[in-house]
Amino acid sequence: MEDKKEEEQLPLKDVLKLLFKASRGFWLVNVVNFGDGIAYFGMLNLMTLFLGTKLGMPDSLSGWTVSLLTGLVTLFMFGGGFVSDKLGVRKALTFCLALLFGGRLLLNCTSYIPSSGDSWLQPAYLLCWLAIVAIAFAEGVIQPALYAGVKEYTDERTATMSYSFLYAIMNLGIMSESFISPFIRTNGEFIKIGGKPIHGLGWDFDGVFWVCIAATAVMLLVHICFFTKKVEETDRQVKETAAEEDSGPKTLSEKIRSMMIFDGRFFFFIFALLPVRTLFAHQWLTIPDYIMRCFPAEVGAKYEWFAALNPLIIVIFVPLIAAFTRRVNVITMMIAGTTLSALTTFILVPGPHLGSLITYILLFSLGEAVWSSRFLEYVAGIAPAGRVGAYMGLANLPWFLAKFTTGLYSGSMLAHFIPKEASMVDKASGSSEMWLIYALIACISPVLLIVFRRYLSDSGKKTGDTVQTA
């Protein structure tokens, strides 16, 4: 907490100077962070479309499969921190990048296996799910390793800005891939330079996946060549973390009461965000098919450009918001951000219009920039001393539930409200009903935060100043 106060007392320009003079280790961690943003989200954004067109999966099964991937990533993060701590940041990143390369290669190769009927147990599907488990495990370890790398290779005075910078760099990778993806995937006009049209390569979904696999291979080579053992030893700012000793022996009843499952405020807070978190899952489970089915072909051909608007907003506004709202009450920021994300979904209710789609993505992303970076800050603020890591891991449980459960019904909702064979008029009407349902679900989160604001804020007063003054 003292480090947090020290950071807040520094002028913003001094914090930024310290951050940009950070060690080689910090920047090498962010090279992996940037590259994995390209590869992971480059494949995730097209996953439902890839599974449906290349593997022939029905909507319900492709939704379930993508949900399996995203859900397992969060599930493996619960133990991924222990693996990362055991191996160390450098070795953990090496292991994860090698596993990601193999898993992504296997996943893309399944598109070349002939379909063998309608069975869900055909070889292509089974190999696809095997690849997804490998990718999910590697991502579940690499995420805590990246956060550990930020902590080990930066000055404690830049904590808030360095973590928001990590989040922004990842989104910069997503934005870069999303811009170039239509050029790789389609053979239509990509962009005009000096009045001369530049046409795409026409490599389709699996072509984009090959580029993501190549990006993973480049990351692995750069990491092995430049993130050496010498860099690890000389650039590390945090040599070791000593666990705090208990003030004295605890009785059995005291130990039971101190367990996280009995922390009512903690569990209420993280589960109150579950409804609005479903909107994040819909960005890759529902939006791709929504655009492809309800908009003209020329709009669908540039789908990734719409997806790129989200990381563009994150790259610009997360560091800015983190810098200028360091002293704003966390609960206030959470309410503002979740309200904005939930209410903007109603923009899609009148029907599929290009202007409405762009406005929705921009405002939804701005809401994400407001509240997402403050979520873990609140969790850290209410966690007892010496148990922040455990609370952080468990705080991902609702995110796991949101990603996994949303996939269980998203495909069926698509098939019901905007089936492939329906007319454009019927799809427009069906999409209105679908987005109305999703918007009403998301509004539950800000309502709960508003109603129970005092209850949630009281927990911050009891555990320290971070929640109140951050």
What pLDDT is stored for residue 249 in this prediction? 55
What pLDDT is stored for residue 103 in this prediction? 98
CA–CA separation, 19 and 332 (whole Å):
27
Burial readout 401-419 (b: 16 or more C-beta within 10 A, e: otherwise): bbbbebbebbbebbeebbe
Is the confidence at residue 403, as pLDDT, over 70? yes
Mean pLDDT of 22-41: 89
pLDDT confidence bin for 70, thresholds 50/70/90: confident
CA–CA separation, 174 and 417 (whole Å):
29
What pLDDT is stored for residue 262 in this prediction? 55
Is the confidence at residue 207, as pLDDT, over 80? yes
More confident residue, 429 or 257: 429
What pLDDT is stored for residue 459 in this prediction? 47
Place of tokens 């039971």: 256
Is the confidence at residue 2, as pLDDT, over 50? no
What pLDDT is stored for residue 220 in this prediction? 97
Tokens representing 386? 């010496």
pLDDT digits (tens, 9 = 90+) for 274-314: 899 899 889 888 999 999 999 998 898 888 898 889 888 98
Is the confidence at residue 6, as pLDDT, over 60? no
What pLDDT is stored for residue 243 in this prediction? 41
Q: What is the DSSP string of 222-278?
A: HHHHHS-HHHHHHH-S----PPPPPSS---HHHHHHTSGGG-HHHHHHHHHTHHHHH
Is the confidence at residue 1, as pLDDT, over 60? no
Which amino acid does the sequence have at 375?
A: F
Tokens representing 463? 């555990």
Percentage, residues of the chain above pLDDT 70? 79
Which amino acid does the sequence have at 457?
A: S
What pLDDT is stored for residue 400 in this prediction? 76
pLDDT digits (tens, 9 = 90+) for 210-266: 999 999 999 999 999 999 998 888 866 655 444 444 445 554 444 444 545 556 777
Is the confidence at residue 469, as pLDDT, over 60? no
Is the confidence at residue 428, as pLDDT, over 60? yes
pLDDT confidence bin for 458, thresholds 50/70/90: low
Is the confidence at residue 186, as pLDDT, over 80? yes
Top-ranked range on mean pLDDT: pick from 106-120, 194-208, 350-364, 383-397: 350-364
Domains in the chain (CATH in brackets) are 1-237 (1.20.1250.20), 259-470 (1.20.1250.20)
Q: CA 342 → CA 191, 310, 438, distances in Å?
A: 34, 15, 9
- Please report, to the nearest 10 degrees, the dihedral formed by the alpha carbons of residues 426, 432, 437, 439 taken in order: 160
Least confident window among 206-220, 249-263, 359-373, 381-395: 249-263
Mean pLDDT of 430-442: 96
More confident residue, 327 or 171: 171
More confident residue, 462 or 443: 443
Least confident window among 40-44, 167-171, 446-450: 167-171
Tokens representing 451? 């109603």
Phi and psi at residue 173, in whole multiples of 5°? -65, -45
**How does the average pLDDT of the chain come out, rounded?**
82
Mean pLDDT of 340-360: 95
What pLDDT is stored for residue 240 in this prediction? 45
pLDDT digits (tens, 9 = 90+) for 78-111: 777 778 878 888 999 999 999 999 999 999 999 9
CA–CA separation, 147 and 159 (whole Å):
11
Place of tokens 């055909």: 122
Burial readout 221-237 (b: 16 or more C-beta within 10 A, e: otherwise): eebeeebeeebbeebbe
DSSP single-letter state for residue 157: G
| Whether the Cβ atoms of residue 140 and residue 81 lie closer than 8 Å to each other | no
What pLDDT is stored for residue 378 in this prediction? 66
pLDDT digits (tens, 9 = 90+) for 259-279: 455 567 777 877 888 899 899
CA–CA separation, 317 and 50 (whole Å):
31
Which amino acid does the sequence have at 351?
A: G
| Whether the Cβ atoms of residue 123 and residue 113 lie closer than 8 Å to each other | yes
Burial readout 67-94 (b: 16 or more C-beta within 10 A, e: otherwise): bbbbbbbbbbbbebbebbeebbbbebbb
What pLDDT is stored for residue 50 in this prediction? 95
Nearest 5°: the CA angle 426, 432, 438 is 135
In the Cβ-directed half-sphere of 170, how many Cα atoms lie within 13 Å?
16
If phi > 0 it is left, if psi is from -120 to 50 it is alpha, else beta; for residue 198 that is: beta
| Whether the Cβ atoms of residue 303 and residue 358 lie closer than 8 Å to each other | no
| Whether the Cβ atoms of residue 84 and residue 150 lie closer than 8 Å to each other | no
What pLDDT is stored for residue 242 in this prediction? 40
Q: Under 8 Å CB-to-CB from 440, ≥6 apart: which residues? A: none
Tokens representing 400? 């796991």
3-state SS class at 147: helix
Percentage, residues of the chain above pLDDT 90? 42
